[in-house]
Structures are given as C-alpha cells and as structure tokens.
Structure 1
C-alpha cells in the first residue's frame, strides 16, 4: 500500500517544480519595447511643404511625392502610421522646434547652420539650378552672371545666404552691382513671377527644375551648366528626441540594405547617398 505522506510530498515537489518552470519561462520572455517618443502615440508626424513636386505635393487631395513615399516606408518599419503636416518651407524649422511635428522631410538641405539646432539623417543629394523663360535673352550659366540681376527664390532656401555672400564679396566688391533677391512663400509663386518677368531668373532645386521642364518643355529652360551649391538633403529630428533619431537612422539603414530605398530613388530619378555622404553629416545639435 502506498504511503499517503509520500504521495503528498511528491505532489508538493511537482507543484514547486511547475511553479519554478513557469517563473523561468516568464523571465525568459522578451521585454516589450517602449513606444517611440512621438507627439501622438503610434503616429509619426512629418512636417512637409506640400507644394514642392516631385518631393512633396498634394495629388487628388492626398500627400504624394518622393519624400512622402520615403517617410511612409520609414514609418512602416518603425511600426507607426504617418501623418503629414502641410507647412510652408520657411516655417518648417520653427515648427519642429516648437514641437508641432516629430520630423521634417521636405527637401531640407543639410547646412552647418541648421546642424547647430537640428540632427539630420541624409537621404538624397541635391543642388541648385538657374531657370529662365525659354525665350529669355538673359541666360546665365552660373552665379557669376547674376550680378546686378533680380533673382527669385522660395523663402527660407539655404542658398539665399550663400548668394548674398557672393553678391557682397564678388559683385559689389568689383562694382558689378549687387544681386537683388525676391522671396516668395512657394516655388510656384516664384515661377509665376518669372512668367510675369518681374524677376530675371529663378534659383531653384535641380530636381524640381527638371520636373518642371518635363511638364513645360516649351516654356522654360535650365541654363546653368553645373549644380550650384551642391548639398545633401536630410530628415531633421529634434536633438531632444535622440531615441527617435536613432530609430529613424536604423530604419533607413535597413531600407538601404534591402534595396527598397534604391528602388524608390530610381523611380523618381533621385541621386542616392553613399556611406561617405552619411558619415559626413555628424549630429552637432545638443
């Protein structure tokens, strides 16, 4: 006959073993990752000027363009939905610094001045072109020919301080007449000023210029021979949000590895960045 005390002892031991296994199993479960620090939980809000094709614009009332598709792909990798906050270009930097959106993705050039206040993940190469009317007699091939002329530009563009410096140090210093710049809220308004001949030439992003020529080949012409002020374009993140910066950087790295970034850039004929380009942009904002 079985000893009841031995049976009870065996049951208790089995129960203790089961409890220990359950505890060990629980401790081996991977910890849930903390949600990324975004303004709206589960959503990446993107500040973008949706008047700037082919980078960002509205198509049938919905955001479209390279920057839009790029950020949608990044958001998906971060397991976030994406929301685009239409903001005029000149207000994008003040907008992110005021916490109106999590990131800026809007053909934003990476400059030393901007790196002092924002952190960047570079994702495209860019530069500027000179656009004139097809029948214009003034056909500048570079900045040296802009002395004494009226140049139109979108407000807040990174090339404006460079153009002013060139005007002061070269044009005015050599008695050639200063470069007069007129700024407008949107690129479309600059082009309209060119059409009305209230400016001599439009200073604009080279990709945007190429897109315009596709639509209106008989109306406009790019006369500059080389890219003026070549630069990198980057996603801007507030320096206070280091976790988000790291996550976006990692997501972009994975897009480069799996070929989805290259495929998207090819579809839009955008010049891609190299490892050296990315490494050249260091986070200097505190």
Structure 2
C-alpha cells in the first residue's frame, strides 16, 4: 500500500491523560445533534417533494432521518460551536437534505470507532473527513490484510493531502518530511498521517506521538514539545489561520499524497449510496456544493462529480 497522509487508519496510541479528559468532556457536551432543519427546504422547482426523496430506501423515508457518525473535533471539516455541529461536512449534509427530504442527524464519536458504528447499524453513514481507501472498501485490517468487517462504499466528495504545521516563523527550518527525521512530531491517532511518518526513510527515525484528537496534537506543537504536527491540509490550514489570531502556526511545504474523502455507506445499502451520490451531483451542478467549500475556504479540494470508491 502506498503510504497516505489522509485521515484514516487505526494506530498505536500515545495518550495524554489531560488531553483525553478534555476530549471526553467535549464529546459529552456535543452528544448527538440534528444539523438539518426539521422540514427540509422544498426543491428548486417549487414542488413540495424534494427531487430525490423517492430514491431513498423505504426505511430511511419512514424514519425521516439519516444517522451520521462523525468525530466533531476536526475544524474546519466538522466541529462543535455553541453545542451544535458546524463545518464543511455538516453544511454539506444540509445541502444534501434539500435534495433528499430527510434530516441528517450527527452523532459525535471517536474517529477510530466510526466504521464499527456503521457496521453495527448505529449510523447510516459516516461523514468525518474520512479517506476513501481500498482497505476500508474491502473491510481489511491495513496491517495484516485480514478481513475484519463488511465491505464499505464511499461517495467521494472532496480531495485533500497532508500538510506540515510548525510554529510561526518556522524556527526549525522545516520544509519537508525529510526534515522531521530525528525529531518529535505529533499526529492524531486513527490518522494515516502516522503511516506516512513511519514510511519516511530516516537514518534517525521520526519520534511520532499520536493523540486522540488533532487539538491535542496541535497543543503539543504550541507547547514546544514537538517540532511539527502532520494532519490533513484543511485542518492544518485552519489552525494556521485561526490559532492565536493567526500568530501561532504556519504551514510549510506542499500537500502530500492527496486523495479523496468519502461519505461511507455499507456496500449492502446500495440504495442509500446511490441516492447520496445523486444528491451530491445535483448539489455540484446547482452551485450549492461550491458555496459550502467557499464558505470554509477549502475550494481547492472541490471535485467535479461524485464518484464511488475512487480511493486506492
């Protein structure tokens, strides 16, 4: 497998007790929340029934809800503000709801538990800046190649690579992954940034510290305990723009190993998968998809059509 820096696979965790407590506190605060209106907007044609409502599985139409698993600790893709989910993925869910005529109900969970929740039917879909990979599609353990779960399909909606976040002014002069050799670097556990760092050829290996949330990994950089934080480009760019009013961090180098994010759906639930794909294609065509990406300054990751399982 080619190493990928996108948000992804489970890794051995280096835990910080205080960070874990802060994560748990936020999860307890966030709980589950509806992102979309109780009565989704009528279609652009003025009819009462949204255009793709009939394409949904009967169980979803009856429930009126698509249950979404998401790790709401990854701005700007998804996070909690004033007790409600906000960000790229919640806004896109709202756009999709107008096409499908059902609510998207976000449930907050740890990233590396989301696919388990999907397979046990706790969620209908996962929207959480999740990389579409062959291992996930085929339900394989990335380390052993063994089958560990049901196949999953991804409706791909965004493209992102990894980036390197450093302290403002780049005091260590870091320009690429090679400059991290022999140094301490933080990542989010459950992220394939860990695999990217492990695959880096170094005479003196990178000292990788993995934490439960990107906020914790970022805090380690701010404290000076590590020299860099490696994560998906949208999260890194957002941190550079917002942390300390833009005075704490900066992004160095180019995006690394870009690939697709996908909305995860069980392969056995093909009707829901196809309805979501059609809704996303409609949103791309009518411009509402682009407006969401523009709002969060991530338009560089836009796709031109909604593909299924484009990840490798």
- Aligned position for 1:115: 137
Q: Deviations over 1:222-256 (max 9, x none)?
A: 12x21012111111111121111111111111111
Which has the larger helix fraction? 1
Q: What do you get for the CA RMSD once the two structures are aligned? A: 2.2
Residue 232 (structure 2) aligns with? 205
Q: Distance in 1 between matches of 2:236 and 2:99?
A: 31
Structure 2 counterpart of 1:130: 164
Task: State the partner residue of 2:77.
Answer: 55
Aligned length: 243
Do 1:126 and 1:232's aligned partners in 2 also have CA atoms closer than 8 Å? Answer: yes
Give 5+ residue unaligned stretches, structure 2. Answer: 1-53, 140-151
CA distance in 2, matches of 1:53, 1:33: 32
Aligned equivalent of 1:87, options 100, 106, 109: 109
TM-score (norm 1): 0.78
Judge conservation of contact 2:165–2:251 (CA < 8 Å) in 1: yes
- The one of 207, 210, 223 equivalent to 1:196 is 223
Gaps of 5+ in 1: 1-31
CA separation in 2, counterparts of 1:34 and 1:201?
Answer: 44
Which has the higher Rg, Structure 1 or Structure 2?
1
Q: CA deviation at 1:135?
A: 5.1
* Residue among 250, 256, 266 paired with 1:221: 250
Q: Distance in 2 between matches of 1:194 and 1:34?
A: 45
Larger CA deviation: 37-46 vs 252-261? 37-46
- Equivalent residue for 1:155? 189
Are the equivalent residues in 2 in contact too, given 1:39–1:101 (CA < 8 A)? Answer: no
Change over 3 Å in CA distance of 1:213–1:41 after alignment to 2 = same
The alpha-carbon deviation at position 280 of structure 1 amounts to: 7.1
Instruction: Find 1:237's aligned residue among 233, 254, 265.
Output: 265
| CA apart distance, 1:136 | 5.0
Shifted more, 149-158 versus 109-118: the winner is 109-118
Give the alignment's TM-score, normalised by structure 2.
Answer: 0.72
